[in-house]
Amino acid sequence: MMKKERVIVVGAGAAGLMAAGQAALKGAEVLLLEKKERPGRKIAISGKGRCNLTNAENVGDFIQNYPGNGRFLHGILREFDNVKLCDFFAQYGVETKIERGGRVFPVSDDAEQIVEALLKYIMDAGVELATGQTVEEILLGEGKVRGVRLGNGKVLEGKAVIICTGGGSYPATGSTGDGYKMADKLGLSVIPLRPSLVPLRTYEDWVAQVQGLSLRNVEATLWYGGKKQRTEFGEMLFTHFGVSGPIILTLSRWAGEALARGEKVRLTLNLKPALTAEQLDQRVQRDFKKYLNKQFKNSLDELLPKSLIPLMIQWSRIPPEKVVNSISKEERKHLVHLLQELPLTIKETLPLAAAIVTAGGVDVKEIDPKTMASKKIKGLYWAGEVVDVDGVTGGYNLQAAFAMGYRAGRGAGEHALVDE
């Protein structure tokens, strides 16, 4: 009879929970260690507590949504794609729904349901879960994994170790960069960490006057290097320090890189992207005709959210008391231009702790994508945000974590059962 060897999984987030279950299903004895008292903390707060677990997009188009090493994920995502992920949760009673932009959520809108499903899955698979356990060191012998040393000094033996410690964002959930320290100690390459999917701080302080204002169906364009770089359409939010919301978070990765290079970074907001400049000018003319004898300050209610009107009046340089029928063509054209190219200059990204996702991490060149095994240390596996892979907003990062965990679990489970 084949001897059961132990697989130790470090970190009970999306990747770790998935990996632990798969390793156990392969026949290994699995111990899942989590330093927090409760597993799945980051899952529970994701998607504003609703958990945007994947995207309904065709898996063939998924790769383009990972600016950080998407090609590495090619086979990984095909093995455990969005359809398989939704089927997996359906087995545990979690029905899913598709929302705007292909975002997939549980019908219940409750992220805790996802965590509970994953806990049921590892329990059914026979995984032993130990919470409140901090791993200090990966132990090696003869160039291969022998186990781990805990924070209390206790040594746990294992033939394979899967590191799923998460990134450096949201440290309160347990993602405090432990995996990077372990990799560094083992002499493995770690790509410097940067915040990805993070709000942006602006030089302009007028944003504080409209903080909390959410705009839908707008367009944000990122500029640096003296030219237009990327445009995103969707929803954004003004904060007391700058801008946030889905389209800003997506652009933040490139904004952060440009800022790190010392480039001047700016945004332009198109508040009416469905219209050409000519069409918007005609629309403004119709509104002006309707409010012909009113003061300019009372003519913009149908065009803009209430809190933006005083600011738009100020930027337009049209006197607020000016009667609409006396507004010149040049003044009107300038207003139209502002509505479609409202400028903002970016000072900085918020720090890594405020980011949804970490860019950077364990170098993918040192990981075998077929098994998620380290190419340098036998029996060592990596999965999830600790790896240098990151995607845009919309469920892509969780899908990647689950898919990497799935493959790492299977790889480590098979390795644990091979006689050496």
Which CATH number is associated with domain 199-349?
1.10.8
- Read off the pLDDT band of 27 (50, 70, 90): very high
Q: How far apart are the first and last CA of the chain?
A: 15
Q: What is the mean pLDDT of the segment spanning 173-195?
A: 91
- Read off the pLDDT band of 3 (50, 70, 90): low
- The pLDDT tens digits of the residues spanning 63-88 come to 999 999 999 999 999 999 999 999 99
- The pLDDT tens digits of the residues spanning 86-97 come to 999 999 999 999
The confidence score (pLDDT) of residue 44 equals 92
Instruction: Compute the distance between CA of residue 165 and CA of residue 382 in angstroms, rounded to an integer.
Output: 9
Q: Is the pLDDT of residue 42 over 80?
A: yes
In DSSP notation, 113-177 reads: HHHHHHHHHHHHHT-EEEES--EEEEEEETTEEEEEEETTS-EEE-SEEEE----SS-GGGT-SS
Instruction: Compute the distance between CA of residue 354 and CA of residue 202 in angstroms, rounded to an integer.
Output: 16
- The pLDDT tens digits of the residues spanning 134-179 come to 999 999 999 899 999 999 999 999 999 999 999 987 777 767 789 9
Q: What is the mean pLDDT of the segment spanning 403-411?
A: 98
Phi/psi of residue 214, nearest 5 degrees: -105, 130
Q: In the chain, helix, strand, coil percent, each to 5?
A: 40, 25, 35
Strands, E, within 83-124: which ranges?
Answer: 96-98, 103-106
The CATH T-level fold of domain 6-195+355-416 is FAD/NAD(P)-binding domain (3.50.50)
Instruction: Compute the distance between CA of residue 349 and CA of residue 265 in angstroms, rounded to an integer.
Output: 11
- Count CB atoms within 10 A of the CB of residue 317: 10
Task: Give me the amino acid identity at 228.
Answer: K
Question: Could you give the strand order of the β-sheet that contains 135-141, starting from the edge strand earlier in sequence?
Answer: 135-141, 144-150, 155-157
Q: CB under 8 Å, gap of 24 or more: what pairs does 275-279 form?
A: 277/336, 277/337, 277/340
Range list for CATH 1.10.8 in the chain: 199-349
- The pLDDT tens digits of the residues spanning 202-219 come to 999 999 999 999 999 999
The confidence score (pLDDT) of residue 1 equals 35
Residues in the chain: 420
Range list for CATH 3.50.50.60 in the chain: 6-195+355-416
Q: In whole numbers, what is the pLDDT of the chain averaged over residues?
A: 95
The confidence score (pLDDT) of residue 2 equals 42
Angle subtended at Cα 8 by Cα 106 and Cα 418, rounded to the nearest 5 degrees: 110
pLDDT over 90 percentage in the chain: 93
CA 378 to chain centre: 30
Q: Is the pLDDT of residue 420 over 70?
A: no
Q: Is the pLDDT of residue 343 over 60?
A: yes
Using alpha carbons, select from 397, 407, 420, 399 the residue that is nearest to residue 68: 397
Return the structure tokens found at 85.
């992920």
Instruction: Compute the distance between CA of residue 301 and CA of residue 268 in angstroms, rounded to an integer.
Output: 22
